[in-house]
Amino acid sequence: MDLHPLTSSTPISNSPPSSSSSSSSSSSSSSSSSSSSSSSSSSSSSSSSSSSSSSSSSSSSSSSSSSSSSSSSSSSSSSSSSSSPPPPPPLPLFQTFHQTARSLCNGTLFPDLCFSKLSSFPQLASLSPEKLAGSALNFTSREVLLAYTNCTNLKTHLYSGLNPTDRHALDDCLELLDGSIAELKASIFDLAPSQSPALHSHDLLTLVSAAMTNHRTCVDGFYNSSGTVRSRVELYLGKIGQHLSIDLAMLKKIPGVNRATGVDQEMLPEYGAVKGGFPKWVSVKDRRLLQAAVNETKFNMVVAKDGSGNFTTVSEAVAAAPNASTTRFVIYIKAGAYFENVEIGRAKSNLMFVGDGIGKTLIKADRNVVDGWTTFRSATVAVVGTGFIAKGITFENYAGPSKHQAVALRSNSDFSAFYQCSFIGYQDTLYVHSLRQFYRDCDVYGTIDFIFGNAAVVFQNCNLYARKPNSNQRNIFTAQGREDPNQNTGISILNCKVEAASDLIPVLSSFRTYLGRPWKLYSRTVFLRSFIGQLIEPVGWLEWNGTFALDTLYYGEYLNRGPGSNTTMRVTWPGYRVITNATEASQFTVERFIQGSSWLNSTEIPFFSGLTPP
């Protein structure tokens, strides 16, 4: 059946979905999906550009007539004054209007689209930076809502005839678009004068960065699709990714925002301040919870395989947990292996999992891309609800190295924290999808790109282990997915151990292993004060595809130790650097990178705020 997509001029019959309606998370494909990145950027949205240009034309017309009357008034006034020469005629208002738009769009990645977008805003020259950013975000929010509506209609009419991969990818897009609607709504709220937007600079950039990541994840989910669904979804998405890039650039024009993120755009202050070893966004109460022994912790609910708790599966407990909780809700998961896929949706905020320890409480599953899942949907545990915390649990995807992308845990939960947990898989083990995250005293095992995504994330005092891959594979620890220079995202690995797992040690010489490779154009990763074992190749880093991203990425190493830390033979890419300045390195700490002081104190996870423990 022929489906006619809504456009900007089509009335919307349904209201935007509520922020609590989305399911567990947003994701995409990582390693193999990068080659599809460029295709969605180039897809166009005739609706937004035509609406912008017609608006611009109408504005020009009214400006012309107004300028004409202004000019004639000026001329008669000047003739009556013979003692001084007549002043030069003022610029026509439409010319001033267009100059303002062009000036604001200078330096953006998409200046022509930016000009078209800004030209649709009335009284552009008089808008404050905050109102300008708000208008830009409102414009983009409407485009996202149209895309959501069109994708919903697509699912209604075609879903039953789709293959499993396309079904999963379409479901992903709906969840991701729903997440973007919520994130843009929160951003617009933070721009209200009563909210002091400059004080919310990190939140604003984080939320819009996440919406851009959602858009890319939606597109990447169709990487293996050859049907018409992919082309329809790309049509519906239009130029949303480009609009979000413009929105980020407009946010950076707000006084205080650029200063808050550092003059050097390669700095990473977004993680935030740290107190007592934790980002400040972990509260004192949550920190006590994390550091307390299991028998000293008060639980709201218990999961036990033997029936001695409230539920026998983790998913049942999550479903029974309250929605939109403003206080910490603790689920104790007793020792045992729980074979299930768990999704913690947007509505399940402030949830905490407490297990009996690494290797004792395990949540395991084997979804993977080869069997028809998207990378996003392959996660054993997927977390979206804000403020999720886990302690003493092993998250595992046991699909194996031949199944390619197979995620053990995916988090796009803002202010999520993991303490004394392990993540076990092969390719794409840990998907740090978006927003702000913290990992402390954790173990991560994998082979290809096994820490990947586009969050602002700090790993502190963790053990990162490369496993034995298939004979034709290489090991890569990280694949960071930042795609715009104004996104405040990156992977910071601080005071960690980078080593070979036990199964790789006997065959170490048979496989090459690298610190990371650039999944997206502005990929950003740093290793700080960490131990790097002999498994790392002397060049340190690996290309993704030829020269892609080599001059736009930011890869840094600072005061590392161990046999693999020697930087004398490292890559000579323009974007790689050996960091020698503590000021530069400190931008990647919990204090500066994820606003840790504002949220980690509540989790009771220990952390240190700077480059070294207290």
Which one of 385, 419, 443 terminates a domain? 443
- Nearest of 288, 285, 278 to residue 600 by alpha carbon: 278
Q: How many Cβ atoms sit within 10 Å of the Cβ of residue 246?
A: 27
DSSP at 9: T
At residue 151, the 3 state secondary structure works out as helix
Q: How does DSSP assign 69-89, residue by residue?
A: HHHHHHHHHHHT-TTSPPPPP
Are both 400 and 489 inside the same structural domain? Answer: no
Q: pLDDT value at position 166?
A: 93
| Cβ within 8 Å of residue 482, ≥6 positions away | 454, 489, 490, 520, 521, 522, 523, 524
| Spatial separation of the C-alpha atoms in residues 281 and 29, rounded to whole Å | 29
Are both 233 and 279 inside the same structural domain? Answer: no
Residue 488 forms part of a structural domain: yes
Are both 417 and 453 inside the same structural domain? Answer: no
Return the sign of the alpha-carbon dihedral for residues 224, 545, 212, 45. Answer: negative
Are both 514 and 406 inside the same structural domain? Answer: no
Pairing of strands 274-275, 436-440: unpaired
Report yes or no: 4 and 349 within 8 Å, Cβ to Cβ.
no
CATH number at residue 429: 2.160.20.10
| Spatial separation of the C-alpha atoms in residues 570 and 532, rounded to whole Å | 14
Which one of 443, 464, 482 terminates a domain? 443
Are both 489 and 594 inside the same structural domain? Answer: yes
Question: Within a 13 Å sphere around the CA of 14, how many CA atoms are in the beta-carbon half?
Answer: 13
Are both 423 and 562 inside the same structural domain? Answer: no
Q: Which of 203, 286, 449, 484 is catalytic?
A: 449
Are both 494 and 555 inside the same structural domain? Answer: yes
| Cβ within 8 Å of residue 418, ≥6 positions away | 389, 390, 391, 437, 438, 439, 440, 442
Are both 394 and 460 inside the same structural domain? Answer: no
| Spatial separation of the C-alpha atoms in residues 28 and 169, rounded to whole Å | 8
Residues paired with 475 in a beta bridge: 513
Residue 173 forms part of a structural domain: yes
Are both 438 and 499 inside the same structural domain? Answer: no
CATH number at residue 229: 1.20.140.40
Residue 482 forms part of a structural domain: yes
Q: Is 521 exposed, middle or buried (0-12, 13-18, 19+ CB in 10 A)?
A: buried
Phi, psi of 104 (to 5 degrees): -65, -30
Q: Is 472 exposed, middle or buried (0-12, 13-18, 19+ CB in 10 A)?
A: exposed
| Spatial separation of the C-alpha atoms in residues 4 and 149, rounded to whole Å | 12
Are both 493 and 472 inside the same structural domain? Answer: yes
Phi, psi of 378 (to 5 degrees): -80, -10
Report yes or no: 612 and 290 within 8 Å, Cβ to Cβ.
no
Which one of 421, 443, 465 terminates a domain? 443
Q: How many Cβ atoms sit within 10 Å of the Cβ of residue 62?
A: 12
Q: How many Cβ atoms sit within 10 Å of the Cβ of residue 232?
A: 18
Are both 311 and 214 inside the same structural domain? Answer: no
Q: pLDDT value at position 122?
A: 86
Question: H or E element: which one contains 317?
Answer: helix 314-320
Q: pLDDT value at position 540?
A: 98
Residue 2 forms part of a structural domain: no
Counting the structural domains of the chain, the total is 3
Structure tokens at 35: 């080659």
Report pLDDT digits (tens) over 344-387: 999 999 999 999 999 999 999 999 999 999 999 999 999 999 99
Q: pLDDT value at position 87?
A: 64
Residue 513 forms part of a structural domain: yes
Structure tokens at 440: 């402390």
Give me the domain span that covers residue 314.
275-443
Residue type, 20: S
Total residues belonging to the chain: 614
Report yes or no: 392 and 357 within 8 Å, Cβ to Cβ.
yes
Report yes or no: 27 and 431 within 8 Å, Cβ to Cβ.
yes
Residue 187 forms part of a structural domain: yes
Residue 478 forms part of a structural domain: yes
| Spatial separation of the C-alpha atoms in residues 529 and 565, rounded to whole Å | 10
Report yes or no: 28 and 178 within 8 Å, Cβ to Cβ.
no
- Sheet holding 497-500: strands in order across? 336-339, 361-365, 394-397, 422-424, 443-446, 463-466, 497-500, 531-532
Q: Collect the ranges in the chain with pLDDT lower than 50.
A: 1-82, 91-94, 259-268
Q: pLDDT value at position 79?
A: 42
| C-alpha dist (Å) from residue 429 to 216, 268, 313, 528 | 19, 24, 22, 22
Phi, psi of 213 (to 5 degrees): -65, -40
Q: Is 220 a catalytic residue?
A: no
Residue 74 forms part of a structural domain: no
Are both 319 and 409 inside the same structural domain? Answer: yes
- Nearest of 438, 529, 515 to residue 474 by alpha carbon: 515
Q: Is 512 exposed, middle or buried (0-12, 13-18, 19+ CB in 10 A)?
A: middle
CA 50 to chain centre: 30
